[in-house]
Structure formats: structure tokens, C-alpha cells
Amino acid sequence: MSSSEPADPARGLPAESEDERWMRTALELAAGGQGRVEPNPMVGCVIVKQGHAIGQGFHQAFGGPHAEIDALRSLESIANAAGATAYVTLEPCCHHGKTPPCSEALIEAGLARVVVAMPDPFPKVDGGGLSRLRQAGIEVQLGVCQHEAEALNAPYLKRLRTGMPWVIAKWAMTADGRIATRDGESQWITGPQSRHHVHRLRGRVDAIIAGMGTVIADDPRLDARLTSAQGDPVSPPRVATRVVICNRRLPPLQSRLMQTAREIPTWLFHSDALQQAPTLGLVELGAKVIHVSGDSLGPMIPEVLRYLGGHEMTNVMIEGGPTLLGSFLDTTTDRFLIDECHVYVGAKLFGGQASPGPIAGRGIGPITSAPQMRLQGVDRFDSDVRLIYRVTE
């Protein structure tokens, strides 16, 4: 979640309003649902009366109470909500889904004012929640910290707008931009803390995408292996579906992916070139085999993303080599099909022209065609650094 600069009257920056202060608290709460609420959006709510927060909550799990309900339940007494202000990061819903409408709950509780960061473009809401509140005589203010709210729920908004999931590319590279030595060695560029953090990232996405080059070279499991501070195994927020894009070959039956396909969902997307290939053994091991048109990775990628989005996947992560990453750069339009990059930089130097970089393929022509990115965060793990970039429109 991006944040604006702090208020500093000496520098001429505007002072943060009371509404902004409470809304940023609600946004911090909302982020607690990351990896647990998708395909729903992350939402937080703070109930304020006479300048004090009397209740707060957030959407904690898909199918569970929404943020407004969670906040109302946190009150010492529901009667305390009468005349209070609710700060909500997303327009309250107005339809019966897995839970009753939050707009009706706020009305029944007697809220006097509802401050909303952004409207919800979901077709069953899309302004209806705001209208219902206003019809009930509640004062409604929209647009407080809207930019921050949109940044927090950018993956949700993208899937609604395009039908495709938010695509996170992850790679580890040396300080001089190499992902392997000239002999092909890549384990390990980064240290244990960085690798642990990658497992946390795996544990909050809907799918992990790899290519056959990675499957053959590394024989990975592509799962999230988390541990507690005491070293005990911990279940991740969600179990990512393992997606393998198979252009010219299929995974070996004895690979770790196939041997664990009954434990962890494994989807194999194959091209026209493999339409006649025998897949029965893969299916018997538990894999789902899906045909997409195209005879190369470039045309296959958008179809795979549309398929994943159609199955309510909100966040997917690429854990592939340079060939697969390069295929997410649409060379016919110079459009980058990646939304966010997590770049782990290890404290090593490999050097040499034969040492590969993270993204292969045709690449960008003029520098003006390069995707523009904004730095979202910097984290340090021992001597390693993680850079998070988001591609701007």
C-alpha cells in the first residue's frame, strides 16, 4: 500500500485531516486480510465517536464477516454505534452474498456518517451501497485516501476490469544482475532469510507459474513451506495452484510436481504442439491438463491468464526462468503482462557475458518503450535486498 508524505508545515505540506488519519488506520487493518480474503477485496473499518475509536475490524477470511460487521461486533454495545462515524476503505456492499448487506447493518446500527475511501466496481454493488446509505439519511463522504485504497486493492480491481489476475514476477539476482553463473549454477544467490520470505509470498498467492525449463532443471515442488519461530511447520494462508506452461514438452511422471499432484493442485497448460501428446499418466497422478491455442509461449500467456482469472484467481506469481519471464513481455505490442516485480538482490557478483540475466526473449527496442515502474518498497534480509516495483499505467 502506498502512502502519501507525512504532514510537515515547515515544508508547506498539507496537514493530515481527521478523516485521513482514521482512514489510514482502516487501511492498515484492511491489509491484514491479504492472502486470506481473495477473490474478495481487502477491507478495513474503524468506528469513531467523539474523536475516539470505539470499534474496528477487517475482512479476515473469504466467506467470513465483512469489515463493517467485524467492527460492529467489536463494540462493547451495539447501542454505542448510534451517532458515530464509520470509516470504511471500500463501499459497503448492498447485496446478499455469503454474508448479509453491510450497508443495512450500518443503517440498523444508527451510524450518523460513513466515510468511504473508494467505490466498489463489483457489478452487484457499484454505487448501490452508497445510495442505500444516503436514502436512509446517513451522511456519506467518498474519496478519502482513495489513491491508497486503490493501490491496496489493485489486484482485485484489475481482475474486475480485465478478467485477468495480478501478475507478480519474482526473481533472485546478483548485484550485477545475473541469475546464474556461466556454468548455470544458481543455488543460492540469496540467503536463508530471503528464501524464507519467498515462501511467505508463495503462501498468499492463488497460483505459482513455472515453465518446463525450470521443471526440468530444478525439479521444484513450488509450494509454500513455512515454519514458526520454534521451527514447527505452519500452514500458509492459502495453497497456491501450481501452473506449468508446457510448450514443447510435458513434466516427467517422476518429477516432484507430478508425484505431489494429488496433494497440491497442479494445472498443466499445453500448446497446439502437444495436442496429440499422451497425458493419461499425468491425469492419473492428479494433474489437470488444459489446452490453450498457440504454438509458442507468447500467444499462450494471455490465454493462461484469462483462464486463471476466470477461475477467480486474483494474485499469481511467476517462478520461472528468463525464457518464461521474457514471454510475459508482449513483443507485438511491447506490453508488459507483469504488474509487480519482487527482485531479490544477493550480495554476489558473477560477471561475464555468458552469465544470464532475469528476462530473456526479444526484449524492448527503444528505451522509450520500456515499462515504467514505481518503487513500492525496499526490505533488507541480512546482506540481501528486496525491491518491489509496480508497473505504472
Does 3 show up as a binding residue in the annotation?
A: no
174, β-bridge pairs: 346
Does 324 show up as a binding residue in the annotation?
A: yes
Question: For 206, what's the count of Cα atoms within 13 Å in the CB-facing half-sphere?
Answer: 22
**C-alpha cell of residue 192:** 536463508
Does 121 show up as a binding residue in the annotation?
A: no
Does 323 show up as a binding residue in the annotation?
A: yes
**Residue 78 to residue 55: CA distance in whole angstroms:** 10
Does 44 show up as a binding residue in the annotation?
A: no
Is residue 68 part of the annotated active site? The answer reads yes
Does 147 show up as a binding residue in the annotation?
A: no
- Kindly name the residue from 20, 68, 104, 340 that is annotated as catalytic: 68
By DSSP bridging, strand 288-291 and strand 266-270 are parallel
Does 22 show up as a binding residue in the annotation?
A: no
Sign of CA dihedral 365, 245, 212, 176: positive
**Residue 251 to residue 63: CA distance in whole angstroms:** 35
**Residue 375 to residue 390: CA distance in whole angstroms:** 7
Does 319 show up as a binding residue in the annotation?
A: yes
Q: Which residues contact 235 (CB under 8 A, 6 or more apart)?
A: 226
Does 102 show up as a binding residue in the annotation?
A: yes
Does 326 show up as a binding residue in the annotation?
A: yes
**Residue 198 to residue 191: CA distance in whole angstroms:** 11
46, β-bridge pairs: 56, 87
Does 322 show up as a binding residue in the annotation?
A: yes
Q: Which residues contact 112 (CB under 8 A, 6 or more apart)?
A: 82, 83, 84, 85, 138, 139
Does 271 show up as a binding residue in the annotation?
A: no
* Size of the chain, expressed as the number of residues it contains: 393
Does 393 show up as a binding residue in the annotation?
A: no
Buried b (16+ CB within 10 A) or exposed e, 38-68: bbbbbbbbbbbbeeebbbbbbbbeeeebbbb
Whose cell is 474519496? That residue is 143
Query: Count of H helices and E strands in the chain?
Result: 12, 18
Does 133 show up as a binding residue in the annotation?
A: no
Does 218 show up as a binding residue in the annotation?
A: yes
Which residues are annotated as part of the binding site for Zn(2+)? 66, 93, 102
Q: Annotated active-site positions, please?
A: 68
Which residues are annotated as part of the binding site for substrate? 186, 202, 222, 225, 319
Which residues are annotated as part of the binding site for NADP(+)? 172, 188, 214, 218, 321-327
Which residues are annotated as part of the binding site? 66, 93, 102, 172, 186, 188, 202, 214, 218, 222, 225, 319, 321-327
